[in-house]
Amino acid sequence: GKHSRSVPEEPNEVSPRGKGSREEQFGVPSATERIRRHTMIHFGYSTLSLAMRGLSRPPAELWELRELQKLNLSMNCLCSLPPAVGSLDNLVILNLWGNNLSSLPPEIGLLKKLRVLFACRNRLSEVPEELGSCTCLEVLSLANNQITSLPGSLATMHNLTKLNLSYNHIVHIPTCVYSMKGLVFLHLACNRLETIADQIQDLVNLKILIVEGNSIHTLPKTLCSMNSLELLNVDFNELQNVPVEMYLLSRLGRLACHPLDKGLHIVHNPLLKPIQEVLQGGLSSLYNYLKPT
């Protein structure tokens, strides 16, 4: 008769002794291992980029990669992040740029080692209180969202050096910002600001302040005590005058034109005629005009 081949029985998906899945028993890598193979060591950090993949949700296995230190989920179609993001407690950099996120989960506060968070170009209208637990944050970008304010809990971010809140719906600079003593860079362009509070002087390390494209009518005198300022951009506002004490801002150095140039940017304001005329001679002419005789 014909020889018949015996067909081995297929093992159960999970063995009774917990030996793993069918894939693992046959030497096939699990979904978690497959995504782990896409990680790389970059400048000494365990890094994974899932940018521009058209993702509507992150793969569930992602949250098992607790060793991850840098995660790039930018330019996808994410509408939300699951609470499981809090399990990646070794993250140093999280890039969420260019998605459709309407909120951040409270569990983001579990990322105690996080130093850089990019959440710009989303649909955020608020920021969770729990983000204030990320006290190691050094760079926070929330630009191009629909934010009107920040929670007071962010006042604990004393290590923050760069804060970008440009292109939002902010009417008053959030009070917590004035407690961020380490700030070197503060970007508030294209919001709905009408004033800058006197507390701005508390940001003693600030070198760059950008408030162009708002509706600011006057600058506070206290701004002129910020001796570290190297770039002040007040273009496209409603300024008619400048504080007499502005000559004290010696590090501004000159009138600037290019957006990246250090100095004073003050074009496209309804400045009164004396100031307009004096500015034609440059910043030194303005300062000589303002100095007491």
* First CA to last CA distance, the chain: 119
How does pLDDT run across 247-288, given as a tens digit for each residue?
999 999 999 989 889 999 999 999 999 999 999 999 999 999
Look at domain 32-290 and name its CATH class. alpha beta
Higher local confidence (pLDDT), 32 or 225: 225
> Reduced to 3 DSSP states, what percent helix, strand and coil does the chain have, rounded to the nearest 5?
25, 10, 65
- Strands 231-233 and 116-118 come out as unpaired
Smallest CA-to-CA distance from 215 within 193, 240, 200 is with 193
Longest dimension (CA), the chain: 119
For residue 40, give the 3-state DSSP assignment.
Answer: strand
How does pLDDT run across 112-126, given as a tens digit for each residue?
999 999 999 999 999
**197 has pLDDT over 70:** yes
pTM: 0.89
